[in-house]
Amino acid sequence: MSPLSGLIATAAAVVLAITLGVASSSWETKRERYEARIMELTQASERVQSTLRTDVATCHAAGEARRLATEGGPAVALTSLGARKLLEQQPEGIDACARMESADRAVLSNLK
């Protein structure tokens, strides 16, 4: 073997090692950015889910309040103040819930 081929092989090995180090560093940086983005999206998703759960609970409570207010009777006397409060405050999204309930009733009445 020639001494020149050994020198070329060593230089090639050093260049490959440096290239691997640079690529590895780049991969780590990208990985950290992706993990941070995943964390952001997860937190945003949890906030949205929490808001939606609250909206659904409010919608159900308002629907129940409306049902109790329209039925009357002694049970309503205990909850009428709370029902009136819900109906007066009209939480955001309650119109959508009422429209959906109305649409459901219309579809069900057409099916009968």
Q: What is the pLDDT of residues 45-100, one digit of tens each?
A: 999 998 888 888 888 777 777 766 666 554 544 455 565 665 666 655 556 666 66
State which H helix or E strand residue 33 sits in: helix 3-71
| Measured distance CA(70)–CA(18) in Å, rounded | 78
Q: Which two tokens stand for residue 23?
A: 């690529």
Higher pLDDT, 96 or 37: 37
Full-model pTM? 0.43
Say whether pLDDT at 19 is over 70. Answer: yes
To the nearest whole percent, how much of the chain has pLDDT over 90?
20
Q: Which two tokens stand for residue 111?
A: 């099916």
Cα of first residue to Cα of last residue in the chain, in angstroms, is 94
| Cα–Cα distances in angstroms (integers) from residue 16 to residues 67, 76, 104, 107, 109, in the given order | 75, 80, 67, 69, 74
Inter-residue contact 66 to 83 (CB < 8 Å): yes
pLDDT of residue 63: 75
pLDDT of residue 45: 92
Domain boundaries, the chain: 3-111
